[in-house]
Amino acid sequence: MMAGVDKFQFAIDRGGTFTDVFARCPGGKVRVMKLLSEDPANYTDAPTEGIRKILQEECGISLSKDQPVDTSLIDWIRMGTTVATNALLERKGERIALVITKGFRDLLLIGNQSRPKIFDLEIVRPEVLYEEVIEVSERVVLHQKGCRLPKAMNSETLKGSTGESLDLWCPLDFKTLQTELQRVLEKGIQSLAVVLIHSYTWSKHEQEVGELAQRLGFQHVSLSSEVMPMIRMVPRGYTACADAYLTPCIKRYLTGFRTGFKDVLKDVNVLFMQSDGGLTPMKKFNGSRAILSGPAGGVVGYAVTTYNEESKQPIIGFDMGGTSTDVSRYAGEYEHVFESTTAGITIQAPQLDVNTVAAGGGSMLFFRSGLFVVGPESAGAHPGPSCYRKGGPLTVTDANLCLGRLLPDYFPKIFGPEEDQPLSKRDTLREFQKLTDQVNSFLENQSQHVSNMTVEEVAMGFIRVANEAMCRPIRALTQAKGHDTSQHILACFGGAGGQHACAIARSLGMKTVFIHKYAGILSAYGMALADVVHEAQEPCSVIYGPESFKLLDQRIAVLKQQCINSLQGQGFQKAQISTEAFLHLRYERTDCAFMCSAKGYPGNENFCHEGDFRTAFCLRYLKEFGFTIPERPIVVDDIRVRGTGSSSIHCEKQLKPSGLPARVETMTKCYFENGYLDTNVYFLEALTCDHIIPGPAIIIDKNSTILVEPECTATITEFGDIQICVDREKIPVIGTELDTIQLSIFSHRFMSIAEQMGRILQRTAISTNIKERLDFSCALFGPDGGLVSNAPHIPVHLGAMQETVQFQIKNLGQDLVEGDVILSNHPCAGGSHLPDLTVITPVFRKGISYPVFFVASRGHHADIGGITPGSMPPHSKSLEEEGAVFTSFKLLKGGMFQEEAVTEALLAPGKIPGSSGTRNLHDNISDLRAQVAANQKGIQLVNELIDIYGLEVVQAYMAHIQANAEVAVRQMLKEFAVRCRKQTGVQTGLLEVKSEDYMDDGSPIRLSVQINEKEGSAVFDFSGSGYEVIGNCNAPRAITLSALIYCLRCMVGQDIPLNQGCLAPVKVIIPKGSILDPSAKAAVVGGNVLTSQRLVDVIFKAFGVCAASQGCMNNITFGNDNVGYYETVAGGAGAGPYWHGQSGVHTHMTNTRITDPEILEKRYPVILQQFQINKGTGGTGNFCGGDGVIRQLLFRDKVVLSVLSERRAFRPYGLYGGEPGAAGLNLLIRADGRTINLGGKTSVELNPGDTFHLQTPGGGGFGLYEEDGTSKRTTQTVSQKDKTTECFQERGSVYEYRRTQETV
């Protein structure tokens, strides 16, 4: 594998828009080329054309486009391609069918049952990849100690590859399967994905399905047990589907690529970049490992060229292109994730942690309700930005052009309808003038007099907001793992990043920006530098300890040899091959697993031969979370070996000093914070290693434009790269009056405080609920207790914490002093339900006697006592039965944690007959300390902001942010009033809308909304709602406010700050003693999870927004002395005026993920017999409601089952003639065959062999049938959203973290 110096070597990145080619010619000359990925008028394949052109130009020979390229001059070709990514994004892959265990036909449609965007009423879930589903009769179940099912139900015992034992309950039904496979083949489907339950450990049934399918004529079969043998059926199934969907596309592309060369590249070493940053032979390149093929090259590129082994300073990779911005991190080792979501498909495969965090130069610019907003919508390549001369919208690119940071004279003339014109600054300025007029019109209507803004000030504002929007996820990426953002180097590449690098580095406190000379094609260059990788992995299920070391060493040795054999088969010598072993480790009874290498932790007789994996795991856990759990066993989930064949390729060439000053090509005027400045323009190719370029300056490369801002200095390195020294940020002096640019920036800063508090809480908490499920919210409040910012946006927490803080201000008054921290959960004090413990800390400033801000964190504690484990009893009748109660409890006094007092309070419910104190005191105390620590982080960040801008300014912008939310809600109410008048024809008098709905016990929820259309205000009056009930469906006042804020945000229909301002135009009347404002002793646990959903239904009914969704969370709890489990189950979503309701999804006030079937059966005494869509349960109409689901559990041991549900009597309503959805149903099927209706709320003892059968409600329909008597049930969802724009596809660990937060 040594480089052939007398031949050409090509590294190519085939992107979505452009294909980049890096070529090293004989003798060491380097050629770089960029060409369109699609140009059918001139060539059929861009990489082939790039190779042909360079060979022709360098060799001086004519190579016909119509003839295969001569390969005698080519040593190797390395490629990355977006073929797989684009096929996934555009859903243009192979037609496939899915084979899955009977009872799970809709499992991959339901997924984890959460909806992608919590405030979108039209729930748009990514389409599944398969066309047909074949349910196959087969079943294995994990053997469980203590299983008490009758012996007759058990069958042959099997041994899995993980060492686990399984029972064969149902052999594979070959006859029926063959018939079904033949049926699918006859439809023209020739690719198959197979996912059978527990195949990660016992794969024989999958292998038999695969063999039969291939005998019948299927061209491609992806077995989940081979594609990625990891536990968890849903992501493994997604991965198998992605492989079956994409691999045939890749194979077709590779076949076409090879035919463009003589002898189909027979003697040329062709390698493709995988998502993990390693190269693999063309024949092994497959769909599931190709998703990040292009971006991975960029990570390798900056890692190899920027990282210094001596200084070991970590690097943030910043790749800003036209449609998206990718961020990653490198600190001597590549950071991998092993499960990531792309285009809605979760894939289990090693991938570099590349975070797509924002749109790129094509991000569209908006001015909304006084806020400057950048993205997430993108102009795309067509029509592109305004300056592309195709009538496109204003974008970040236009802002840079407006400010003189892009120079049209140095761009190719490829714009306009005929693609023969330069960039149009005139079009950009015309559109910016329109936007500036819009901004100034808003400012003139404000009560404070604010001077008008110029076009340049508006454009500069958008650049600053765009930069701040990109800084937030970069902070999250570093701080999530305990790293200091400011200590990194910013490695910038991609076409658009050079214009923003200095500003972003400055904002993040970084001192250095590094831009490689090939930054415009760094992904291609990275492929030239990458190593060849072969990975081998297998599942495992053992406790890490001396008794398992021998087994682990044996399996690692086998996997190592597999890697070595593969690499030697590709021509690598043993000296070029290295291997690294990894164990996928987690603490027992937790879900947070790390793929750990023992590199740097040598082993001895007390450890594995490979090294001390325990120490490696514990140190990483400590780094990320701040503690370890020494007494807890460590579980090995998977064994992985990564084999690397070193290419030994180096392409850097030292420059010689010129001895002359840098040549200025021209001078231009560039706009910065202080106005226009003279700015020198340089060509990078004319600069050498003795040149220092002071800012402001523009350095132009063939493929990018780099802005060196004032007070920054660029140095050309010995290899011709650019290193920029960035000065510290100079904070502009601003006043308290409204500045719309600063408003947008403060909005990001306030949100960042709440987000960083959340990161600290997650890192320092110990419980699964907070650390892994992320069931918490952190928030910042003003001195009056009004909400300023809240993260994440858990619907049931919205606005509720504000009530808690304001209660403490009123209740404690002067008794609240510095050093105090308050603990509260009482419903009368703004609590939602007792397990949600809120910790509140006042923020004091020196010389001021009262709090200037408040910070608070609310976390769901798994148990705080009461009559049932989990503190969520289905049959509680008083608050004291639900656990420990805190009203205004001082958790800290004078800075001292009151552990003895809080312990006594947490154990106090045990004094009540039939009740218990907290069952998990250690976790309670640890999590409360973590909440205190999160608040301290918030105080630190608030004080830093005040130190920079001053208290008066920060509080002024707090008020401005709240006022901004108020403007958006008032505008929505005004628009609704206009529509309502138009629909009803009533033009005068009071505008009032009413609605009502019922709880299953008959309690009414009534609402009258009186709207003042002139002011954009409303009175929400719940008078007439039912009395407080004897059960636990009473909803504290805070729940009503949370539901109201959620509904208002949904109806506004765009991102707005979710704070106190949302409720400013609204007066809420709730009758005392009602189900919506019960007495202090009323039980409330059902109000939080059930009545909250009915409130949303009633509000949306009044406004006629959409039909009712399932209106329930379907709370299911079971347990015994050894185990406890809780889940909520999805149902149908309501239809709307232009959409069908989604099926099998959580709606409104919950978005909880459900446990994977394999994890459920591994950890709990149940067998999941069925989990699928209950067809036809959605209400019919012009647009149909979504269907509910069927979920059936067979119990293997004695348990107590508790059910807390609604919509078993009153069906989810339809609107405007649409039919209601079906009611839910809870059935108990006894082992003796008796079937019993459990009703909506019950607690019952189950015996082994008993089955719980759940049918969740469907959503209501919207509108009458069409005239021909048919509904649109089978038609594709019609979306009214603007299809001319596109949004970037988020991905990476930052995105996964936020999605997890939004699904609790």
849 or 1077: which leads in pLDDT: 1077
Per-residue pLDDT for 674 more than 90? Answer: no
Name the nearest CA neighbour of 291 among 229, 342, 245, 241: 342
**Overall average pLDDT of the 362-368 stretch:** 88
Mean pLDDT lowest among 98-107, 1256-1265, 1293-1302: 1293-1302
Q: What is the pLDDT of residue 1260?
A: 97
Per-residue pLDDT for 812 more than 50? Answer: yes
Residues 802, 781 contacting (CB under 8 angstroms): yes
Q: What is the pLDDT of residue 1003?
A: 96
Which band of pLDDT confidence, cut at 50, 70 and 90, is reported for residue 1173?
very high
Mean pLDDT lowest among 76-90, 108-122, 808-822: 76-90
Helix (H) or strand (E) holding 669: strand 666-672
Residues 1168, 1193 contacting (CB under 8 angstroms): yes
Per-residue pLDDT for 429 more than 90? Answer: yes
Question: For 553-581, what is each residue's pLDDT tens digit?
Answer: 999 999 999 999 989 888 888 888 999 99
**Overall average pLDDT of the 438-457 stretch:** 82
At 645, the amino acid letter reads G
| Beta partners for residue 352, in sequence order | 336
Written as one string, the DSSP assignment of 530-564 is PPEEEEEEEEEEEESSHHHHHHHHHHHHHHHHHHH
**Overall average pLDDT of the 394-420 stretch:** 87
Mean pLDDT lowest among 23-32, 707-716, 1102-1111, 1245-1254: 23-32
Per-residue pLDDT for 541 more than 90? Answer: no
CA–CA gap between residue 431 and residue 411 (Å, rounded): 21
Sheet holding 1115-1119, edge to edge: 1124-1128, 1115-1119, 1199-1204, 1241-1246
Q: Quote the tokens at residue 342.
A: 């792309």
**Overall average pLDDT of the 634-655 stretch:** 84
CA angle 760, 765, 766 (to 5 degrees): 150
839 or 1125: which leads in pLDDT: 839
| Beta partners for residue 636, in sequence order | 542, 585
CA dihedral 419, 423, 426, 430 (to 10 degrees): 80
**Overall average pLDDT of the 577-606 stretch:** 86
Q: Give Cα separations from 469 to 93, 360, 606, 1170, 1263 (angstroms).
A: 33, 11, 49, 44, 40
Reported residue count of the chain is 1304
Question: For 826-883, what is each residue's pLDDT tens digit?
Answer: 999 998 889 899 999 999 998 898 999 999 999 888 889 998 877 888 888 999 999 9
CA–CA gap between residue 85 and residue 275 (Å, rounded): 11
Question: For 996-1031, what is each residue's pLDDT tens digit?
Answer: 999 999 999 999 999 998 899 999 999 999 999 999
Q: What is the pLDDT of residue 2?
A: 42
**Overall average pLDDT of the 36-54 stretch:** 88
575 or 244: which leads in pLDDT: 244
Per-residue pLDDT for 1097 more than 90? Answer: yes
Q: What is the pLDDT of residue 1280?
A: 41
Mean pLDDT lowest among 796-800, 831-835, 850-854, 1169-1173: 796-800
Residues 335, 353 contacting (CB under 8 angstroms): yes
CA–CA gap between residue 1256 and residue 1187 (Å, rounded): 9
**Overall average pLDDT of the 490-513 stretch:** 90
CA–CA gap between residue 66 and residue 46 (Å, rounded): 14
Residues 901, 1104 contacting (CB under 8 angstroms): no
10 Å CB burial of residue 333 (0-12, 13-18, 19+) is exposed
Is the peptide bond preceding residue 40 cis, with omega within 30 degrees of 0? no
State CA 567 to chain mean position distance.
36
**Overall average pLDDT of the 228-256 stretch:** 92
Residues 1192, 1251 contacting (CB under 8 angstroms): yes
| Average pLDDT score over the chain | 88
Mean pLDDT lowest among 316-320, 618-622, 1041-1045, 1168-1172: 618-622
CA–CA gap between residue 113 and residue 1180 (Å, rounded): 22
Q: What is the pLDDT of residue 1278?
A: 34
How many CB atoms neighbour CB 982 within 10 A? 10
Per-residue pLDDT for 1135 more than 60? Answer: yes
**Overall average pLDDT of the 316-323 stretch:** 84
Q: What is the pLDDT of residue 3?
A: 45
CA–CA gap between residue 646 and residue 132 (Å, rounded): 44
Question: For 919-953, what is each residue's pLDDT tens digit?
Answer: 889 889 989 988 998 999 899 899 988 988 899 99
Q: What is the pLDDT of residue 381?
A: 64
Which band of pLDDT confidence, cut at 50, 70 and 90, is reported for residue 5?
low
**Percent of the chain topping pLDDT 70:** 94
Question: For 133-173, what is each residue's pLDDT tens digit?
Answer: 999 999 999 988 888 887 645 578 899 998 899 999 999 99
| Beta partners for residue 462, in sequence order | none
Per-residue pLDDT for 1274 more than 50? Answer: no
The sign of the dihedral angle between the CA atoms of 544, 550, 553, 557 is: negative
Per-residue pLDDT for 260 more than 50? Answer: yes
Which band of pLDDT confidence, cut at 50, 70 and 90, is reported for residue 734?
confident
Q: What is the pLDDT of residue 582?
A: 93
Segment 574-577 long-range contacts (CB within 8 Å, at least 24 positions apart): 576/1, 576/645, 576/646, 576/648, 577/643, 577/644, 577/645, 577/646
CA dihedral 564, 569, 573, 574 (to 10 degrees): 20
Eight-class DSSP state of 361:
T
**Overall average pLDDT of the 1207-1230 stretch:** 97
10 Å CB burial of residue 92 (0-12, 13-18, 19+) is exposed
10 Å CB burial of residue 1020 (0-12, 13-18, 19+) is buried
| Beta partners for residue 366, in sequence order | 373
Name the nearest CA neighbour of 570 among 935, 283, 802: 283
CA–CA gap between residue 1016 and residue 1250 (Å, rounded): 56
Residues 464, 365 contacting (CB under 8 angstroms): no
How many CB atoms neighbour CB 1120 within 10 A? 15
Three-state DSSP string of 253-265: HHHHHHCCEHHHH
Reduce the DSSP state of residue 969 to 3 states and report it: helix
